[in-house]
Amino acid sequence: MTDTTRPDLTGSRIREQRLARGLKQGALAQAVGVSPSYLNLIEHNHRRIGGKLLLKLASVLKVEPSALTEGADAELSTLLDSAARAQRSAGAETDRMDELTARFPGWSALIAGQERRLQALDAQVEALRDRLAHDPALSEAMHEVLSSVAAIRSTADILVRETDLDPAWRGRFHRNLHEEAERLSTRATGLLAQFEAPEAEGGYPAESVEAMFEATGHFIAEIEAEGAAAIDAVLDRTPGMDNPAARAMGAARLSAYAADAALLPIGPFTEAAEAAGFDPVVLVGQLDVGVAPILRRMACLPVSSGVPPVGLAICDAAGAIVHRRRLPGFSVPRVVAGCPLWPLYSALARPGHAEEAEIEMPHGARFHAWAVAETHGGSGFGAPPQLRGVMLVMAARSRDRQPPLVRGGPGCETCPREDCIARRGGVAPV
């Protein structure tokens, strides 16, 4: 089983704890009843350690035995590793991460907190970029502002050019200017509200929830360890969750996460995913839990497990995206339909039938996608089932299967595919 910790570094952690307390190797060896040469082999990870000797060392060093065997907790290690990868030019010594967390826990927590905040800010910026490109409400607000500006400019131009206007007409134009200015003020205020922080009252709760998951790499260690009992603690420490709507949405999303974690515990699932080459089709054949939980759990695997970068899209019965995990190079619009999501839409048409496709983006990159729609509740006119679709995406790799090819793009307004017959706002020639 692959874990986010490195038990082979137990000796290194013993050495770090000893140095942090100013103990000489000989003194520690004497205190636990071994020779300095044997302790030296242990500290350089040339001898495995456990049982009574580990307990003795932990007692002398005044730490819990788990601090020597497990090192930094999973979330802290993930955040520090993410910070190092984001700033490769800094040359951070990632092989000494355990030493950093052992000797300087405060500084480690500070770096991790800054990385968490940077990830949340990146998610907000991406959400704003997505809204600028695709949000119909924002487009309408911008259109209204520009219409008012055009009306004011036209009226002002008449007043400047026509110096001999009849006083009555001049008065009408002045009233028009005043009315349009009032409308512009109202519309500009409404437009500004579109850009309020997600956690602000009237903001976008879904973006706060998305930022919460982005900040942890979609792997939430507290939920993995404690299940639903940790939901309130996670929400309390997450920015933006003072908004009641965001908190309710976040609690629902974390509850679903906890249910998946209980169904597929991260340790055994990681081991199974590695053995299956991170192929959902192989996992579905091995695990008797259904397709949707497997796709969702694939998107929760910690980076250190070796899983390739993945994207995730979860939608409701109308096809509206309710949760995303972004994947570089693969555009998943939140508020409008997008052809890269075609496997997801196909799955909605046939609940319970899993879809598999290869998606080619305009820049040539190809992605493999798996999608399924699951139902909850009863059927019939009195109790319609609740339908939800799930799609997992990762960069295409060599596989035994060759699924159908879908040619996608970022959206009809900006897509460079001139030969697409499905383009909205003007069909290209066939």
Domain boundaries in the chain?
A: 7-111, 136-193, 306-430
> What percent of the chain is predicted at pLDDT more than 90?
13
User: With bands split at pLDDT 50, 70 and 90, how would you rate the model's confidence at 215?
Assistant: confident
Is domain 7-111 annotated with CATH 1.10.260.40? yes
406-417: pLDDT as tens digits: 887 766 666 777
Dihedral sign, Cα of residue 222, residue 287, residue 332, residue 385: negative
Predicted confidence (pLDDT) at residue 50 exceeds the cutoff of 70: no
CA atoms within 13 A on the CB side of 150: 6
Checking if the pLDDT of 201 tops 70, the result is no
Instruction: Give me the mean pLDDT over the 258-267 stretch.
Output: 92
Joined together, the tokens standing for residue 15 give 């050495």
- Strand extents, DSSP E, 142-219: none
DSSP per-residue letters across 33-48: T--HHHHHHHHTTSS-
Over the chain, what is the mean pLDDT?
79
Q: How far apart are CA 343 and CA 354, in angstroms?
A: 9
For residue 374, the 8-state DSSP code is E
Range in 66-75, 141-150, 280-289 with the lowest mean pLDDT: 66-75
CA angle 162, 165, 170 (to 5 degrees): 105
Give the pLDDT score at 87. Answer: 81
Tokens of 391: 């799609």
Confidence band of 142 (pLDDT split at 50, 70, 90): confident
User: Is 231 a residue whose pLDDT tops 80?
Assistant: yes
Give mean pLDDT, residues 123-128: 69
Average pLDDT over residues 64-79: 66
Distance between CA atoms of residues 159 and 52, nearest Å: 93
**What separation in angstroms does the CA of 353 have from each of 149, 290, 340, 347, 404?**
51, 11, 19, 6, 15
Residue 355 has pLDDT above 70, yes or no: yes
Give mean pLDDT, residues 137-160.
82
Summarize the confidence of residues 41-70 as an average pLDDT: 78
3-state secondary structure of 375: strand
pLDDT over threshold 50, residue 385: yes
Query: Looking at residue 242, what DSSP letter applies?
Result: T
